[in-house]
Amino acid sequence: MTNTSLLSEQSGAMKIILAPMEGVVDHAMRELLTALGPYDLCITEFVRVVDQVYKPPYFHRISPELRQGGTTRAGVPVRVQLLGQHPDWMAENAVVATDLGSPGIDINFGCPAKTVNRNKGGAVLLQEPETLYKIVSRIRAAVPDHLPVSVKMRLGYENTDLATDCARAIEDGGASLLTIHARTKVDGYRPPAHWHLIKDIRQQVSLPLVANGDIWSRADAEKCRIVSGCDDLMIGRGALCLPNLSAVIQDDAAPMAWEKTCALLLDYAVFVRDDKQRGYLPSRLKQWFRYLKRQYPEAEILFEKIKRLRELDQILAVIKQEL
């Protein structure tokens, strides 16, 4: 079966999507990371849909890019992601998001969070391929034909038995693109990512697939493409560990130096500190260090200096000493 990527005009040309990461990859992070290297698409943090249609201000808070043509300042499209179990409510919110300028809709069938799954959202729905079909088909019918409807899923909930059935249901529902995180919900984020199982699914569907999971380096990206059979990749945690990972993968750029990474942390603080949510900045910066420690030994040392500090200015002063 053919699997030509909708992200690229030419089969075999790698394209990279910046993954949605709840509470981590926010608007400011998308702006900074897409300015550093080549991305072809960003997905927002999920909009949790239960039994209401959100007003425009809520969507603008999740995706301020809607006010600037649905792209980051670097020109990378930012697609609103929805998470929920009710097809009609999902579809109605999809209409609002696209009317506001979202360049398509992404659907989350991959979130492993216990609170989300307990309320029948995210990866728990991978036990119900028919529900996936209803949600995708309803959204596809509701939004304009020219706008893509993409989906992200895992290989399953407790096991991978329904992985192909889920992919087929998503394809039959009319999705334009499917990203597969190569783990089950039970796997969480524990290595390894099972890229070879994406290739097995790829043999059964013609829907374009994007591989995701454990892509930390250019070598990982090359291996993932070979093993999964996918041209295109989604990166998330890897981009937080190495902020210019997309350029390292696409352009064989040198990994960003530690001093420049510290400058990026300061840029992030400047970007966010005037926002209404600036109160989360100290914890968000500390959280970022948890990822940076994988790539930079210096991050472990610096984190020890700031981990007990509560005031933003104190934290920034310590980081500035690294420049």
- CATH number of the CATH domain containing 267: 1.20.225
Name the active-site residue from 42, 111, 166, 262. Answer: 111
Same domain flag for 106 and 21: yes
Residue 81 falls within a domain, yes or no? yes
Mean pLDDT per block of 10 residues along the chain (323 residues) reads 40 84 92 95 97 97 96 98 98 98 97 87 96 98 98 97 98 98 96 97 96 98 97 97 97 97 94 70 92 96 95 94 92
DSSP β-bridge partners for residue 313 = none
Domain boundary (234, 251, 268) is at: 251
Domain boundary (251, 275, 302) is at: 251
Same domain flag for 185 and 274: no
Q: How many residues does the chain have?
A: 323
Place of tokens 């995708």: 136
Same domain flag for 223 and 166: yes
> Among candidates 34, 59, 66, 31, which has minimal Cα distance to 45?
59
Same domain flag for 243 and 292: no
pLDDT value of residue 276: 56
Same domain flag for 158 and 226: yes
Residue 3 falls within a domain, yes or no? no
Same domain flag for 234 and 308: no
Residue 9 falls within a domain, yes or no? no
pLDDT value of residue 8: 40
Residue 83 falls within a domain, yes or no? yes
pLDDT value of residue 274: 65
Looking at residue 277, the DSSP 8-state letter turns out to be T
Number of domains in the chain: 2
Same domain flag for 80 and 188: yes
> Domain holding 54: CATH number?
3.20.20.70
Same domain flag for 304 and 160: no
Same domain flag for 54 and 147: yes
Element containing residue 182 per DSSP (H, E): strand 177-184
Domain boundary (251, 284, 304) is at: 251
111 catalytic residue (yes or no): yes
Same domain flag for 20 and 41: yes
Residue 60 falls within a domain, yes or no? yes
Phi, psi of 176 (to 5 degrees): -90, -25
pLDDT value of residue 5: 42
| Strand pairing report for 232-235 and 149-156 | unpaired
Residue 297 falls within a domain, yes or no? yes
Residue 52 falls within a domain, yes or no? yes
Range of the domain at 76: 16-251
DSSP annotation string for 210-228: EEES---SHHHHHHHHHHH
Phi, psi of 70 (to 5 degrees): 75, 25
Q: Quick check: pTM over 0.85?
A: yes
Place of tokens 């927002």: 44
Same domain flag for 166 and 184: yes
Same domain flag for 173 and 314: no
Residue 220 falls within a domain, yes or no? yes
